[in-house]
Structure 1
Amino acid sequence: MAANGRRRTKGSGSIIHRRDGSWEFRREIDPDPATGRRRFITAKGKTKADARERFDARIADMERTGRLPGAKSPLLEDYAERWLEEYRLNVKPTTYRTRAGRIHACMQVIGHVRLDELKPDHIRRCMRVLGKRLAPSTLKDHYVSLKMMLDQAELEELIPVDPCRRVKPPRVEPAETRILSPDQPKRLIEAVPNRGAKRRGPALTVDVDESWMLLFELAFAAGMREGERYALMPFQLRRRDGVPGIDVCQQIQQYGLPGDVEIPGWLKAEHLYGTLWLTTPKTRAARRFVPISESLWTRLWSRIERLNIGLRQLVFTNARGNPVRSSAERYNWRKALKAAGLPMVNIHSARHWMASMTARANMPDDARTAIMGHTSITMTNHYTHRDAASLAALLGQAIPDLHDDPDIIDTQIVEASASDGE
């Protein structure tokens, strides 16, 4: 209440002198658009001047980043700074790191433009500039990241329409994923002892070879992602209804060094070593039970018992006892492929191989998505590749013989000689 007894105009703010001698400046702003709750900007200080300085600085920062309407629309790079700050709290560190890199690259091109002056031509120019050095799929992800941010600005009514809506996304031609044929994974795994890779550390060669053979087999036979394989611990090997399998309930991810990375409060993550963290699976659907053969089950337990691995210790480690790194697995994968005389496919293609084999066996869609840990059959189908032999077999079952003539006409192909043309 003002000194003359009249109520202050809404939004003009108030000054509070507290009993302990401190001062507080407070101003009510528009309600939270998501919850409708009242919101206030406050700043405290030991003196009135100190409180005022902090209050003005907070107002200026909110106007700069678009949290509070000001005389000028915020620069796009300032709004991006605020958007990423809020985005960080709702995603995993790896997702944030990727998205932040995309946004920062866009800001180098158009960050100087004010938000309310942003036009479709700015978006097109940004894509043209970035497209000179980026692959089409990566460029499209930059576009998607920028659109996510500007969609939020539209929801906050800082702009009338997201200009990305008026720009066609960068065109991407899907790249074909090469996979091994049905019988080739066995040849790859058998070639591991002959791969000729350099051995480091005190671990026995037989244990090192066995670890890569088992890791590769898990990639093909269980369709486990690399982080899921690296995080495997004995307690995950369970029997359900008498069926041996793996409870895929954790993974290892490279989040960053403790202190350098901010782990959201909702994310369960335990630091293991260096930049590696033990955390939850990729999605809720990724937590699954994957049946495995009795042979693979027995060989995993034989390794666990021989090396005296505890229930909550990693089944696979490097020579120093630290978690397996993807670079080391890729190195040994390529060496094994070369030793087996197989094409150089990437290791993630093993998941594509498994999805394709389940389709080949006519496994129901719900079972295939459950095994793969996908949220929809659409994603599982993206991983599925039909080979000519399986397509021919299916067509042979589906299409009846359309020619009833029992006579067989023998044909002979005669190659023309050079003299025939003279």
Structure 2
Amino acid sequence: MATTGRRRTKGAGSIIQRADGRWEFRREIGRDPATGKRRYISAKGRTKADARERFDAKIAEMERTGLLPGAKSPYLKDYAERWLEEYRQNVKPTTYRSTAGRIKACMEVVGCVRLTDLTADHIRKCMRVLSKRLAPSTLKGHFVSLKMMLDQAELEELIPIDPCRRVKPPRVEPAETRILSPDQPKKLIEAVPKRGAKRRGSQPAGDVDESWMLLFELAFAAGMREGERYALMPYELERRDGVPGINVCQQIQEYGKPGEVEIPGWLKAEHLYGILWLTTPKTRTAHRFVPISESLWERLHTRIDRLGIKPRDLIFTNSRGNPVRSSTERYNWNKALKAAELPSVTIHSARHWTASMTARANMPDDARTAIMGHTSISMTNHYTHRDTASLAKLLGQAIPDLHDDTDVIDVQVIDEAA
């Protein structure tokens, strides 16, 4: 290749004619504030003018989104657009979808403010506006997402400090999760055949009832998440040291239809049906072995053998052979609760019930987090609810009797008026 023209000044870039006759304009644009590595930008064209025009367009786009310092700071909405594209590559589609929705809602309020002009008052105004239509817990999620984005802007040296650091996060009073008492899950499961739910498809009523009874039992007995139960396959049923259990190594998630959702290259995900994908567990610790009873083990295998379910087929499907949906399970769950005359609780409360029962049995903390698939005991404790009976028993064991009924104190009452 050959260069043309006289030597350019330092930082002005270089124009090069390549061996194929095309022209390339290339320039170093400084070091990346986040990584310290040198950054280059280049553009090619059939002529010098084409190469330069494309180069200038790239520079303008980088200045607009904040990748390159320009005459003016980028608008917050333009920076958010670029940040979300980068963020998409590092998180699961469900995480991206929720974060993108929060950021876009914030941009409707403060998106037209330039990054360097953004102040704590802008953040407070954003939270005030959004609070009129959002629940406190949802509003806090918006604040956390906005702060995460502005933390990155600070790291890139586009702003001196994230203004969210000067704002108190929205206050959230934690909602109490109601769970069933120790003996009530059995009543719920036994009420499944009596629930009177409408049947669809050609599946025998016995198979349908059995599937919901097993799914509900897995929720309580194994503490499995909804997506983990829906994704259960025969090969996950293992015996380790003679102990029957489930090697929880996958889940079903609603990512979106192929072509409409971008799956990051690092994420292992296989499309199943519609918007449903078979993917890895929620976290590394969610990949775990959960022991189950011999009875549950045998009933699962009886179902597998009777229906001829192959090792890599789903154990639980709907009448069309497609994966179970959370809305369908929720419908049958509520019907069973009503049939058993039990209080209204969510399906996810079954995991809270499992965590609470392990605490009631005085299971060590490391064992409890392992069963639940949590990353820390603090999260498991968040799922734990102590009932009155277990608290009274523990307190009775801890506090000695402070009053001895055998000691009788005689009290003489003196009538001063006598």
Aligned-residue CA RMSD (Å): 1.3
| Cα distance, 1:258 vs structure 2 | 0.3
Q: Residue 360 of structure 1: CA displacement?
A: 0.1
Contact 1:63 1:70 in 2 (8 A): yes
Amino acid across the alignment from 1:277: W
2:387 aligned residue? 387
Give the 5 Å matches for 1:19-418: 19-406=19-406
Do 1:353 and 1:384's aligned partners in 2 also have CA atoms closer than 8 Å? yes
Q: Match of 1:128, as an amino acid?
A: R
Instruction: Answer yes or no: is the 8 Å Cα contact 2:76–2:112 preserved in 1.
Output: yes
Find the aligned partners of 2:407 and 2:201 in 1 and give their Cα distance: 70
Q: Deviations over 1:332-389 (max 9, x none)?
A: 0000000000001000000000000000000000000000000000000000000000
Give the AA of the match of 1:290. V
CA distance in 2, matches of 1:182, 1:408: 41
Q: 3-state SS of the aligned residue for 1:229? A: helix
1:19: how far off? 2.3
Displacement, 1:56? Answer: 1.1
- Asked if the contact 2:4–2:17 (Cα under 8 Å) also holds between the matched residues in 1, the reply is no
Displacement of 1:407 after TM fit?
Answer: 7.1
Q: TM-score, normalised by structure 1?
A: 0.95
1:251-272 deviation per Cα after TM superposition (whole angstroms, max 9, x unaligned)? 0000000000000000000000
In the aligned structure 2, how far is the partner of 1:252 from the partner of 1:276? 6
Query: Is residue 251–residue 278 contact of structure 1 (8 Å, CA) maintained in 2?
Result: yes
CA contact (8 A) 1:187 1:340 kept: yes
Q: Which amino acid aligns with 2:350?
A: A
CA deviation string 1:380-415 (max 9, x = no partner)? 000000000000000111110000123799xxxxxx
Gaps of 5+ in 2: 410-418
Moved more, 141-150 or 50-59: 50-59
Q: Distance in 2 between matches of 1:212 and 1:299?
A: 13
Give deviations 1:69-96, integer Å, cap 9, x for gaps: 0000000000000000000000000000
SS in 2 for 1:98: helix
CA apart distance, 1:36: 2.9
Report which stretch shifted further, 25-34 or 81-90.
25-34
Which residue in the other structure is 1:413 paired with?
Answer: none
Residue 300 of structure 1 aligns to a residue in which SS?
A: helix
Q: Hey, what's the Cα distance between the residues in 1 that align with 2:148 and 2:408? A: 64
Could you tell me which amino acid in structure 2 is paired with residue 302 of structure 1? T
1:16 equivalenced with 2:16 (yes/no): yes
Q: Secondary structure at the match of 1:344?
A: coil
Letter in 2 for 1:247: N
Q: Distance in 1 between matches of 2:295 and 2:274?
A: 34
Tell me, in whole angstroms, the C-alpha distance in 2 between the residues paired with 1:92 and 1:246.
Answer: 24
Q: What fraction of aligned residue pairs are identical, expressed as a percent?
A: 82
Q: Deviations over 1:227-277 (max 9, x none)?
A: 000000000000000000000000000000000000000000000000000
Unaligned runs of 5+ in 1: 410-422
Matched residues, number: 407
Q: What CA distance in whole angstroms lies between the structure 1 residues aligned with 2:87 and 2:381?
A: 30
Q: Please tell me whether the aligned partners of residues 32 and 156 of structure 2 are also in contact (alpha carbons under 8 angstroms).
A: no
Structure 1 position 3, deviation (Å): 4.2
TM-score (norm 2): 0.96
One-letter amino acid of the counterpart of residue 236, structure 1: E
Name the SS for the 2:266 alignment partner: coil
Counterpart CA distance in 2 for 1:309 and 1:406 is 68
Query: Is the CA contact (8 Å cut-off) linking 1:10 and 1:28 kept in structure 2?
Result: no
- Helix, strand or coil for the counterpart of 1:90? coil
